Copies of this chain bind each other. A is one copy, B any other.
Amino acid sequence: MIIVLKPSAAESDAREILDRIAEAGLKPLHMPGVERTVIGALGDERRLGALHFESHPAVERVDEILAPYKAVSREMHPTDTVVSIGKVPVGGEGFAVFGGPCAVEGRDAFAMTARAVADGGAHGLRGGAFKPRTSPYSFQGLGLEGLEILRDVGRELGLPTITEVVEVADVDAVESHADAFQVGARNMQNFRLLTALGQASRPVILKRGMAASVEDLLMAAEYILSEGNQNVIFCERGIRTFEKGTRNTLDLSAVCQLKAKSHLPVLVDPSHGTGVRAYVTPMAFAAAACGADGILVEVHHDPKRALSDGAQSLFPEQFTDLVTRLRPFVAAAGRHL
């Protein structure tokens, strides 16, 4: 940890901080300069967090040398982790494709879309039973009934299932019906939910929040891993920027960052990432090209009448076309579909 003092800091301020570093068991280093005094602390600086030097009136700035996350870090775990959803490995040599509607709207409708997705080449199904919606007047999902439909249709087609969990009280119900939890962007920093999922046994797909930096996302995963559940998969789904021609700005370089900093697998959601049907397929190709481990795509058997997110849902034939044309990109990335 590097502590930069204000020009107005007194010798006694430096002394006090150096002493507190030593008391915490680290090696303090005094670097008086012409314009500023700089203080270093050598050792495991995470121990210094509790000292809150940034609050000290004589401190201008604290620069941390070490990343604040540990369990998710590639340094602690240099080889890639493979997380399996049902029998589908995510993060190995394969490239995983998950498809399905934003929301489970009914048994027949979901079965129809699911079959199309299975025929189109998906490895797993997605579908929401609990929908966080911006407006209280929008469709909020079928709840438990939605979970049952998801489970039944998944079993019938032999495909693993993913569904969103929005509340600690629902963790058990989701766990007993689906093969993986999804944490949505709006809940990425719902730390109680993350803690509960850290004690669950299913893998967790953790979506990046709309205002979350890659470091925030890594810290959110750290919550889950630190509670015991090591099966976390990141999902880049776009961040909020000034650009309004797309629903969000899909940050594919976040895939590179996550791969460099963590051992955990990374999916990309080009549907929420763009919000525009015509951009989903090219951005899925780009995701494969830059090193993602798979994609999560919204498909609806009749997007014109979808109860949510229809504008970004692919028609079944568009999904089939996506998977077909995706193949050479996946091969170019040294993987297989």
Contact = CB atoms under 8 A, between A and B. Distances in A.
A65 B4 contact: yes
B253 A303 contact: no
A205 B90 CA distance: 40
A302 to B, nearest CB: 9
A134 B219 CA distance: 6
Contact of A213 (B56, B213, B242, B306): B242
A335 to B, nearest CB: 12
A337 to B, nearest CB: 12
Contacts of A332: 285, 325, 328-329, 331-332
Counted per complex, copies of this chain come to 4
Contacts of A133: 191
Most chain B CB inside 10 Å of its own CB: which residue of A32, A56, A277? A56
Contact of A211 (B242, B279, B333): B242
A239 interface: yes
Contacts of A191: 132-133, 136, 140, 166
25 contacts: A34-B43, A35-B75, A38-B65, A49-B138, A55-B303, A55-B305, A57-B304, A132-B190, A136-B195, A136-B222, A140-B191, A168-B168, A187-B190, A190-B190, A239-B243, A249-B251, A253-B273, A256-B278, A256-B283, A285-B290, A285-B332, A286-B286, A286-B289, A329-B329, A329-B332
Interface of A: 2, 4, 7, 29, 31-36, 38, 40, 42-44, 46, 49-50, 52, 54-57, 63, 65-66, 68-69, 75, 132-140, 166-169, 186-187, 189-192, 195, 209-211, 213-216, 219, 222-223, 226-227, 239-246, 249-257, 260, 273-274, 276-279, 282-283, 285-291, 303-307, 310-311, 313, 325, 328-329, 331-333
Pairs A-B, 4 closest by C-beta atoms: A55-B310, A211-B211, A328-B332, A289-B289
